């Protein structure tokens, strides 16, 4: 059965490593749902979190192939233990004075933050799992979305 998996890939900070990782998925015909990359706890290394869908065999094969790539230090399937996943989303909304309280109520309900406010525009920061962020996006759509940017999901094992 196909499920969403999170794969943590610890890599050396070298040019081309992101291309090699994403190229491996492309060559195998697998789609990447999201990929995030940033500094890790180890100097000179970055951590990639790749969200992808596949059955147990497919994800296992991808992890084995990732481990063989140059500059890959470690590959961990995060779904094998309890994990948390979050995504950051910024939404720029058109806001009218008569809708300001309604939108503020949604922001409070979803525990979001207003990070910039103008006369007719709000920028809202939403942090949560993809489903929560999607739900908030649907609810504010009718107020007038000017722009949306999303980071993709990042994840970590609990404990």
pTM: 0.85
pLDDT at 159: 87
Pair 30, 45 in one domain: yes
Give me the domain span that covers residue 149: 84-157
Q: In whole angstroms, give the CA distance from residue 157 to residue 159.
A: 7
Query: What CATH number corresponds to the domain at position 69?
Result: 3.30.70.260
55, 80, 105: which is the final residue of a domain? 80
Pair 38, 95 in one domain: no
Q: pLDDT tens across 6-39, in order?
A: 999 999 999 999 999 999 999 988 889 999 999 9
Q: In whole angstroms, give the CA distance from residue 20 to residue 145.
A: 35
Query: What CATH number corresponds to the domain at position 110?
Result: 3.30.70.1150
Pair 12, 74 in one domain: yes
Residue 56 half-sphere exposure, CB side, CA atoms within 13 Å?
2
Q: pLDDT tens across 76-109, in order?
A: 999 999 999 999 999 999 999 899 999 999 999 9
Q: How far is CA 66 from CA 87, 97, 108, 109, 115, in A?
A: 23, 52, 41, 40, 38
User: Is the separation of the CB atoms in 39 and 10 below 8 Å?
Assistant: no
Pair 73, 91 in one domain: no
pLDDT at 1: 82
Q: How confident is the prediction for the chain on average, in pLDDT?
A: 94
pLDDT at 28: 86
Pair 65, 110 in one domain: no
User: How many domains does the structure of the chain reveal?
Assistant: 2
Answer whether residue 141 shows pLDDT above 90. yes
């Amino acid at each position: 059965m196909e499920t969403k998996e999170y794969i943590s890939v610890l890599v050396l900070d070298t040019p081309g490593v992101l291309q090699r990782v994403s190229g491996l998925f492309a060559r195998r015909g697998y789609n990447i749902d999201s990929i995030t990359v940033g500094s890790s706890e180890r100097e000179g290394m970055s951590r990639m979190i790749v969200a992808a869908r596949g059955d147990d065999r497919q994800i296992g094969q991808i992890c084995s192939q990732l481990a063989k790539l140059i500059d890959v230090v470690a590959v961990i399937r995060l779904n094998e233990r309890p994990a948390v996943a979050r995504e950051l989303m910024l939404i720029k909304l058109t806001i009218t004075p008569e809708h300001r309280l309604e939108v503020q109520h949604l922001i409070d309900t979803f525990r979001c933050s207003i990070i910039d406010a103008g006369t007719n525009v709000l920028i809202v920061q939403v942090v949560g799992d993809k489903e929560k962020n999607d739900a908030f996006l649907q609810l504010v759509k009718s107020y007038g979305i000017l722009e949306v940017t999303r980071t993709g999901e990042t994840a970590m094992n609990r404990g």
